[in-house]
Structure 1
């Protein structure tokens, strides 16, 4: 079954959707969209360092994403607004990564594949990395679900409950770094944030509980991956952007349906 490239691509897309969906809910609730975008942009620098040092791209991107999060944490509240700080770091990391890639001699690299994904070239080894990373992210979120939710709703309530919001932030940061690393092959660094945010935002109006929102977001992400991949195959369009286009269409359609129900009600 895995000899078919479409099967491998479909499984890879679903794996990324399952990793991004619950994490995307926390990104939406905490208004961390720009932080997710900054972490994704920094992944290109991780790719360049991984190729230069001849280590796993997964390890390199996770390491750079964690360093990005640490720098943001250390510099927050030192005279710069969060969005300004994230803007500087995100675009600086992306620029340094692109420049670093140009210095790599003797290494053939398809930069567009890292920027926008190369889903149809997913190998069996890539599937192991994607699903292993997705399983780790889901396990972390399930393990820390209640503390994460409490810290997201109210920091004072978290402290009163004996929780450390900074520790929960670290769990989210680690999960985000892993998701970015496994999603590079599927949608590329420029579109990873979209897979985090759009399915979660689309699920927000349908869910009555946080757990339901995470489940619905996972379903929307998986549907987007399958439908986007089929559309890319039939229309000869880029796979990663096609998946994001389907997610955006679902977001718009669900919001229009909700608006129509509110008008009739």
Structure 2
């Protein structure tokens, strides 16, 4: 009888963790879908990696100054974006060289700082690969609060973002400011990285941005369709990955990415191929 009670209690506890994980993961996927579309259209995957890798430095600084980790990660991501913009204007190095230097430098600095923190126990694996089953109600509040803000800004600046993606000259001709839209986009990406760190981890954040968007592109004919479908595919990857993680006893973050990858591979099957979504299709509108 006691064993039955313990089993029921453990199952209820697991269900509570799993429900929170589903809610958090789906909330993140709804946000990364539209943002990931712009990363795919602008071919900014390497930039996304750089921002994600800088998150570990943000974690280290947050531990040192005893502040919220999401705030630390966001602050470092903003700083990296500013440094990148300043260095690009000097034209001393190519963009990919700058991204490579900043990506690995920030990741290494974060690891070194964490190694010096003998007064605190740091679970590096949870930061690198995520620990979605450990999300709290406060984490969910941060995820949905940040997600709603990001989606609201994207909806408000959708046309300027698309115009700048097609051509900065076209955007200027229409009275828009491509430089400002680039800065805003970087800030939105910094917010997403800060709220996504606990879900899939620092090393896998970019995959949740790119894989659903790349999959959705094959089945969409307009940018709006692609953004919506990318969110749905991301949510399906989260749910499938979490169920697979529970069933096969595998890490949750990598399992989510593998599930999203499986959907992408299925999308490559030789089915009827529609015209792929691209912001250039609306350039003449």
Q: Verify same fold: TM over 0.5.
A: yes
For 1:58, which of 61, 65, 70 is the aligned residue? Answer: 70
> Is 1:175 aligned to residue 213 of structure 2?
no
Matches within 5 A, 1:9-158: 9-77=21-89, 78-158=91-171
C-alpha separation in 2, matches of 1:182 and 1:135: 12
Per-residue deviation, 1:143: 1.1
Q: Which protein shows a greater Rg? A: 2
Per-residue deviation, 1:109: 1.4
C-alpha separation in 2, matches of 1:248 and 1:196: 12
The runs of 4+ residues in structure 1 deviating greater than 6 Å are none
Secondary structure at 2:120 match in 1: coil
Per-residue deviation, 1:155: 0.6
User: Is there any run of 5+ residues in structure 2 with no aligned partner, and where?
Assistant: 1-11, 274-285
User: Is there any run of 5+ residues in structure 1 with no aligned partner, and where?
Assistant: none
Residue of structure 2 in register with 1:217 after alignment: 230
The count of corresponding residues between Structure 1 and Structure 2 is 260
C-alpha separation in 2, matches of 1:111 and 1:128: 24
Q: Provide the TM-score with structure 2 as the length reference.
A: 0.89
C-alpha separation in 2, matches of 1:15 and 1:224: 12
Provide Cα deviations, 1:159-180, integer angstroms capped at 9, x if missing partner.
0001000110011101100000
Provide Cα deviations, 1:144-191, integer angstroms capped at 9, x if missing partner.
111111111111110000100011001110110000000000000000
What's the Cα RMSD here? 1.3
C-alpha separation in 2, matches of 1:106 and 1:100: 12
Per-residue deviation, 1:139: 1.1
